[in-house]
Structure 1
Amino acid sequence: MPIGLTGLMLRVGLTGGIGSGKSAVASRLRELGAVLVDADRVAREVVAPGTDGLAEVVATFSERVLGPDGALDRAALGAVVFGDETARRRLEAITHPRVRVRTAELVAAAAPDAIVVNDVPLLVEVGLAPTYHLVVVVQTAVPVRLARLARDRGMSRAEAERRIAAQADDERRRAVADVLVTNDGSLAELHEQVDALWRERLLPYAENLRRRRAVSPPRTGLTGPDPTWPQQYARLAARIRHALAPAEPRVDHIGPTAVPGLAAPDVIDIQLTVETLADADGPLADRLVDAGFPRRPGQWWDRAGSAGGERVAKRLHGSADPGRPVRLHLRQVDAPTWRCALLLRDHLRAAPDQRVGYPAPGREPTAAPATGGCPTARDPGCEEEHRRAERWAERTGWRP
C-alpha cells in the first residue's frame, strides 16, 4: 500500500514550559475527543521497576536515584541532572529512544482517522516539531509559572527558576508554534481557546486529511507585510523535508510573501525542486499527502518569461490545514518557470526600490502580484519586473 494512503490521522504536538498549564490543555483536548499520548507518563513507564531503562539509569547514576521501594526517585534524579547539562544529556540518551519507541506503539494503536495529541514537554529541545502536522504551544508569563510551581508543586523560587532555565525559552517555542495558546488567565478562558482550536482548526484539518483535500487559498485582497511569513515558511519547509527524508530536496520560499516589506495575499508559496515531473508522482506525492500537503486536482502549468511564453507543466499541492493556506509548486529543476520564481524573488529582495507593479503596504496594486513568483498574461507590471530582473541577473552574475 503506498505511503500516505492508510492511517492519515492528524498528529498534533503539544508543548509548553514547566508551570505553563500544558496539562490542562491536554486534558481539555482529551475531553473533546483527542487521543492523548502523554510523554511524561511514557517516560515514567520506560523506567518503571523491572525495566531495562531503570537498570541503565541506575548503572549510570548509581543507586542514589532509587527510593526505598526500588522505584526511581525522580526528585533525587532531578537533583543530579538539572543544572548539569552533561548529566542531563546522558539521561536523555537512555530515556528518549525508549520513549520514541513506546510513543510510536501508542500512536499505532489509535484509530486511523484519530486526532492524536502528543503532549511533549521537551518537543523543542529534541527537535520533534517537523514530525507533526501542527504544533500547539502553551505560553504563560514567567511570574505566573513561578507562582504555580510554588503553589502546586511546592518548589522554592530558586528551584523553579532553575527548572525553567533548563528548558527552551519562549522565543524558541514560538518559532515552532503553529498555534499559541495563552494561559495567563482563568481555566474557563483557557477552555474557550482550546474549544475554538478544536472546532475551527483541528476538526476541519482532520477531515481534510481523511479526504486528501487541500484548502483553497482565500480570494481576498492584500495583507501585511507580515514579518512572520518567513518563520511560517520555515515550519512548513521543515515538515516537507522531514516527509521526504532521507532525500534532501531543494525547498524554497517564493512569491510575494518571500520578499520582506511586500504586501501580498496571505498565502505561503513554496517551490519544491524535482529532477523530473515523473518524480513528482507516486511515492513522493503520497509522502506529501501524509505530511498534510495533498495534491490539488487538475492540470497545472505556468507561462515562461512573458505572456506569450511557452506553457510549462508543474504539479501543485496545497495544505490541509485550514489555518495556513499554502501553494506548493513542484517544478522541474532548470525549467524556465523554476528559474523565474527564484530570480524574481532574489531581485525583489535585492532591489526594493524597483518594485514597479508590486503594491506597497497600504496601497492597492496596479496589477496582482505574480502567483508563485512568475508573471502571468494578466500581469503587465510583473512582466516588466521580469525584464528588469533579467538585466540584474546578467549584471550581477546571479545563478539560481
Structure 2
Amino acid sequence: MWWVGVVWRTPIRLTGSVLRVGLTGGIGSGKSAVAARLAALGAVIVDSDRIAREVVAPGSDGLAAVVAAFSDRVLAADGTLDRAALGALVFADGAARHRLEEITHPRVRARSAELFAAAPPDAVVVNDVPLLVEVGLAPTYHLVVVVRTAVATRLQRLARDRGMSRAEAERRIAAQADDARRAAAADVLLDNDGGLDDLHAAVDALWRDRLLPYERNVREHRVAGEPVVVRPEPDPTWPQQYARLAARIRHALAPADLRLDHVGSTAVPGLAGRDVVDVQVTVPSLAEADGPLAQRLADAGFPRLPGRWWDCPRTAVGRGRAGDEGGTGDDGWEKRWHGSADPGRAVQVHLRVAGSPGWRHALLMRDHLRADPDRRAAYLLVKRELAASAPAGVEADTAADPWFDEEYLRAEAWAAQTGWRP
C-alpha cells in the first residue's frame, strides 16, 4: 500500500466456524483418492456424490421427483434409480441435465449443510463436489482445492476403472467445466499425473502446512503470521486471485451489498512488490464495520486485527504517531483492518467509509498508476531502490520516502486534468 498503519493491540479471542474446504476435479482426475487421503489424515469428508445417491434412494421424495420428470424408464426392476439410464438421458441433453440438477442440487445442499453443522468445532470439513465450479459454489468455502489431471490420463482411467467407451468418457468430460475454468476457481491446484505416492505427498503437505494452521486460525479468529514474500516481478494471477477473494467476501457479507475494490500494488499491472492482495470494502460508517460485518468476515477467514488502525499519508494530513497508545488517530484516516487466517494467501481487507479521504486515496493512487506507464515505472524503480537499501530481513517503508509526497500531488493533478472520480 501507499501508507502505513498505526495500532495499539489488545488481546482478542473469539470462537469461529469450522474450516470449509471445497474439493473438486474433472471426472477421472483422481479426486476420490485425494478425499480418501484427507480422510485418513483426519478430515471430515462430506461426499456430494454419496449424498446425491441418498436423496434419490427408494422411497425418497427425490426419487419421486426424478420419476415425475423423466418417467419410470429411469427405474430399475427393483425400484431403485437406474443411474446408467438416467445418465444416458441427461449427458446428451443440456435441458434434461438442468431439470435433474433442479431436483437434486437443493436436496444435496440441504443434507450437506446438516453434515457440516454436525462436525466437531475443530474439524477440517472437506466437501467433495464434482460440479463445484459448474454450480457456482466456490465462494462458499474458505479454500477450494482442484485436482488437475491431463485429459489423456483421465480417458485412460475412465476406460480402465469404469469401463467407459472413449466416446462416453469424452462426452462426460465435455459436460463439465474445462481445466481453465476450474483453475480460475482454485486456491490450490493438485496435479495428479504422477503416481499415488506423489499425490499422497502433495496432500500431506497441504494438510500439514496449510489446512491445519488455517483451521486453527479460523477457529481462534487469528491472522496468519507467515512472512510475506516480496516478488521481484509481478504475478499475472493477482487479479484472478483478487476475484476469488472478492467473491468469498461478498458471499460472507451478504445480504449487505457493499462495494469492493482491488487496491494496492497488486491491483496495478506491471508492478512488483509484496505478495499481498489488498481489498477495500466500502462501508457506510465505521459503526457498520464494527457490527455483524466484522463477525461475518472473521467466520469467512478474514479476522479483524485488534486495536485501532488508520491510514497515515505524509501529504495533506500528516503522519500518525506510531506506537502512541494515547493517540486518537486524529492525524490520520481511521479504518478497520482485517487480515487473512490462511497461511498460504496474505490478504489485507481495509474497511473504509464511503467518500472518506483514505477511501479516495486508495482508489486515486491505483487509477493514477494504472493510467500512466511512466509514473508506474518510476514507482517501481523507487520501490526497488528502497528495497535494495533496506537492512537484511527488514521491509522498506515506502510511505516514508519523500517521493510519495510528490507522487500524491501528481495524482491529484492528474485527477483534476482528467475529471477522475472514484
Residue in 2 that maps onto 1:333:
354
Is it true that 1:251 corresponds to 2:257 in the alignment? no
Moved more, 215-224 or 165-174: 215-224
The two structures have a TM-score, normalised by structure 2, of: 0.89
> Given that residues 223 and 305 in structure 2 are in contact (C-alpha distance below 8 angstroms), is that contact kept between their aligned partners in structure 1?
yes
1:312, CA displacement in angstroms? 1.0
Q: Residues of 2 paired with 1:147 and 1:356: CA distance?
A: 49
Q: Which runs of 5+ in 2 are unaligned?
A: 1-12, 319-330, 390-396
1:107-118 to 2 correspondences below 5 Å = 107-118=116-127
1:109-188 to 2 correspondences below 5 Å = 109-188=118-197
Q: Residues of 2 paired with 1:145 and 1:361: CA distance?
A: 49
Q: Residues of 2 paired with 1:43 and 1:254: CA distance?
A: 41
Moved more, 116-125 or 205-214: 205-214
Q: Residues of 1 paired with 2:244 and 2:111: CA distance?
A: 26
Is it true that 1:273 corresponds to 2:282 in the alignment? yes
Structure 1 residues 189 and 362, CA, compared in 2 at 3 Å: closer, same or farther? farther
1:218, CA displacement in angstroms? 2.5
Residue in 2 that maps onto 1:379:
401
Q: Which amino acid aligns with 1:124?
A: V
Q: Report sequence identity in percent.
A: 71
Q: Which runs of 5+ in 1 are unaligned?
A: 369-374
CA deviations on 1:40-90 (whole Å, 9 max, x unpaired) are 000000000000100010011011101111000000000000021100000
Q: Which amino acid aligns with 1:324?
A: R
Q: Which amino acid aligns with 1:337?
A: G
> Given that residues 358 and 366 in structure 1 are in contact (C-alpha distance below 8 angstroms), is that contact kept between their aligned partners in structure 2?
no
Q: Residues of 2 paired with 1:68 and 1:190: CA distance?
A: 40
The two structures have a TM-score, normalised by structure 1, of: 0.94
Higher RCO (CA < 8 A, seq sep 6+): 2
Residue in 1 that maps onto 2:343:
322
Residue in 2 that maps onto 1:25:
34
State which of 52, 55, 64 in structure 1 corresponds to 2:73: 64
> Given that residues 65 and 77 in structure 1 are in contact (C-alpha distance below 8 angstroms), is that contact kept between their aligned partners in structure 2?
yes
Three-state SS of the structure 1 residue aligned to 2:27 is coil
Moved more, 300-309 or 148-157: 300-309
Q: Which amino acid aligns with 2:311?
A: D
Q: Which amino acid aligns with 2:403?
A: G
Is it true that 1:288 corresponds to 2:297 in the alignment? yes
Q: Residues of 1 paired with 2:270 and 2:298: CA distance?
A: 32
Structure 1 residues 172 and 231, CA, compared in 2 at 3 Å: closer, same or farther? same
1:220, CA displacement in angstroms? 4.9
> Given that residues 383 and 398 in structure 2 are in contact (C-alpha distance below 8 angstroms), is that contact kept between their aligned partners in structure 1?
no
Structure 1 residues 30 and 82, CA, compared in 2 at 3 Å: closer, same or farther? same
Residue in 1 that maps onto 2:23:
14
Is it true that 1:359 corresponds to 2:359 in the alignment? no
> Given that residues 209 and 292 in structure 1 are in contact (C-alpha distance below 8 angstroms), is that contact kept between their aligned partners in structure 2?
yes
> Given that residues 148 and 192 in structure 2 are in contact (C-alpha distance below 8 angstroms), is that contact kept between their aligned partners in structure 1?
yes
> Given that residues 16 and 220 in structure 2 are in contact (C-alpha distance below 8 angstroms), is that contact kept between their aligned partners in structure 1?
no
Q: Which amino acid aligns with 1:249?
A: L
1:36-55 to 2 correspondences below 5 Å = 36-55=45-64
> Given that residues 251 and 270 in structure 1 are in contact (C-alpha distance below 8 angstroms), is that contact kept between their aligned partners in structure 2?
yes
Is it true that 1:396 corresponds to 2:418 in the alignment? yes
Q: Residues of 2 paired with 1:344 and 1:180: CA distance?
A: 33
Q: Residues of 1 paired with 2:43 and 2:122: CA distance?
A: 11
Is it true that 1:97 corresponds to 2:106 in the alignment? yes
Three-state SS of the structure 1 residue aligned to 2:252 is helix
Is it true that 1:81 corresponds to 2:103 in the alignment? no
